[in-house]
Amino acid sequence: MVDVPAALSLSEVPGWDRDVDVIVIGQGVAGSCAALEAHRAGADVLVLERASGGGGASAVSSGIFYLGGGTAVQAACGYQDDPDQMARFMMASTDPLDPAAVRMACDDSVAHFDWLEAQGVPFERTRFKGKAVFLNTTECLFYTGNEKAWPYNEVATPAPRGHKVAGTGENAGAVAMAPLLERCADEGIAALYDTNVVALVQDEAGRVVGVRARQPGGVTLHVRARRGVIIAAGSFNLNREMIAENIPLISETSEPLGIPSNDGAGVLLGLSVGAGTSAMDGIIPTASIYPPGQLIKGIIVNKRGERFVAEDSYHGRTACFVMEQPGQTAYLIVDSEIFAYPEIETHRHTLVDGWETIPEMEAGLGLPVGSLQKTMADYNRDAAAGEDRLLHKQPDWLKPLDKGPYAAFDISFNKSIYLFITLGGLKTGAEGEVLDPKGNPIGGLYAVGASAAHIPRTGKSYASGMSLGFGSYFGRRAGRHAAGANWA
């Protein structure tokens, strides 16, 4: 069991060192947005951040915001989208716990994009047309999820909704965080850095009314929050004990994405006052076979020699299915026409071998006799006809794999290096209010960003950008609500 920090009663507080309306714990994207909205709604806000500066995991992320419904970028790049289509996609793919909150986020998505730009977050009016996991260029719009993958492409008109901030490199998230942190500073929102919240304080009725924090040099601080405490302290990606307890399918070769403070402190603070959690077993794993996109024309088989996921799925969806396969084993099979090495070397998809014939490959991979031969005969027949009857990979990615020699890459979940981020967190309502396991709000407490459960409960329905996109949106809502203001 993971140790939960004990919550304090008022009698355990020697005195308040500071007294504010709203405390925001953590200054990543959700915390920054919460602080800005609470401040602008008239609240006296204090941000407490463990690191020596703001930014959080958001600043080392790839800087993608999932936004849609017809944003200025979508329009400039010639894509049709509307809130209904965005909501259809979200609903069909996520079976969300809180459909009303999802609908609001979709209805408000264009306005939220405009708000981000107004804060100075830069987005180009450009698109990237290829198949990418992330972009190192400043191009903005691209498909980052399962919008074009079956069955979602039949339920909602596909539109790209990944909006990447106009920065280069793998950590372009910093380019989004810089203006948000500048706005916080410009507007005089108080922030204490190197300040680690170690406990919540509850009054007699159980309402959260403040926090205890520690600073370097053994300083202990007690801060009162007259209106609310907003937990925006990130995920539990790096808490090995919480991972082991909640995510049995994780492999020893899996590696968490995140920063040291993604140790679950936010979730644990919520648990200390009786919060509920959701989707704690959910992760987005990734070890993409692409780029190059041509590898999507290969097939992925398990140790029974059978296909099990459409290869053009979002890489996180593909990875979830790999994780569930017998022995967590999977191979990417290609022929000489499409042969290439997967470009993202950090995943260590190793080339098993090359073979002249399919029966030799089947034997070389130790697959049951006839299994891969049947799978490839079926697939090649369907690919020639332009319709993948088994898994509905889209026609663009179909071609018979019949140009030997053949090769296989080992993409097993427990052999390759799958990166992951956790999806679980505190159970919340649409305004970020933290709920107990029965759904009753815990007075004075909010959770947003990766300290709260994501909308998708498994990586099968995640799309890149949903963390920053929805984290910033619900961060704003929580900020306004904590400050006592209505939304919109």
Residues binding a second copy (CB under 8 A) = 84, 87-88, 91-92, 95, 97-100, 103, 150-151, 154-155, 302-304, 306-308, 324-329, 375, 389-392, 429, 435, 438-440, 460
**How many residues are recorded in the chain?**
488
Q: Which is nearer to a second copy, 121 or 320 (CB)?
A: 320
Q: Which is nearer to a second copy, 37 or 433 (CB)?
A: 433
* Ramachandran quadrant class, 307 (left: phi over 0; alpha: psi -120 to 50; beta: rest): beta
Query: How buried is 40 (Cβ within 10 angstroms: 0-12 exposed, 13-18 middle, 19+ buried)?
Result: middle
Q: Which is nearer to a second copy, 148 or 392 (CB)?
A: 392
Continuous segment of H or E residues that includes residue 319: helix 315-324
Smallest separation, CB 304 to a second copy (Å): 7
In which residue are the tokens 């410009």 written?
186
Q: Which is nearer to a second copy, 216 or 366 (CB)?
A: 366
Cβ–Cβ < 8 Å for 237, 422: yes
Amino acid (one-letter) located at 402:
D
Q: Which is nearer to a second copy, 6 or 100 (CB)?
A: 100
Q: Which is nearer to a second copy, 222 or 427 (CB)?
A: 427
Smallest separation, CB 450 to a second copy (Å): 21
Cβ–Cβ < 8 Å for 316, 149: no
Smallest separation, CB 148 to a second copy (Å): 15
Smallest separation, CB 429 to a second copy (Å): 7
Q: What is d(CA 111, CA 117) in angstroms, rounded to the nearest whole number?
A: 10
Smallest separation, CB 38 to a second copy (Å): 21
Smallest separation, CB 248 to a second copy (Å): 10
202 pairs with which residues across the strands?
Answer: 9, 208
Smallest separation, CB 328 to a second copy (Å): 8
Backbone torsions φ then ψ of 112, nearest 5 degrees? -70, -40
Question: Rounded to an integer, what is the distance from CA 251 to the centroid of its chain?
Answer: 19
Q: Which is nearer to a second copy, 139 or 433 (CB)?
A: 433
Backbone torsions φ then ψ of 354, nearest 5 degrees? -120, 150
Helical axes 466-482 vs 109-119, angle rounded to 10° = 80
Tokens of 395: 């026609």
Q: Which is nearer to a second copy, 288 or 325 (CB)?
A: 325
Q: What is d(CA 334, CA 349) in angstroms, rounded to the nearest whole number?
A: 13
Contacts for 168-172: CB closer than 8 Å, 24+ residues apart = 168/136, 168/137, 168/138, 169/136, 170/62, 170/134, 170/136, 171/59, 171/60, 171/61, 171/62, 171/63, 172/61, 172/62, 172/63, 172/135
Smallest separation, CB 306 to a second copy (Å): 4
Smallest separation, CB 467 to a second copy (Å): 22
Q: Which is nearer to a second copy, 190 or 271 (CB)?
A: 271
Smallest separation, CB 327 to a second copy (Å): 4
Q: Which is nearer to a second copy, 298 or 429 (CB)?
A: 429
DSSP per-residue codes, 34-67: HHHHHHHTT--EEEE-SSSSS-TGGGGS--EEE-
Tokens of 328: 């967590």
Closest to 403 measured CA to CA, from 300, 298, 303, 292:
298
Query: How buried is 197 (Cβ within 10 angstroms: 0-12 exposed, 13-18 middle, 19+ buried)?
Result: buried
Q: What is d(CA 301, CA 285) in angstroms, rounded to the nearest whole number?
A: 18
Smallest separation, CB 94 to a second copy (Å): 11
Smallest separation, CB 92 to a second copy (Å): 4
Tokens of 387: 């319709």
Q: Which is nearer to a second copy, 18 or 88 (CB)?
A: 88
Q: Which is nearer to a second copy, 212 or 303 (CB)?
A: 303
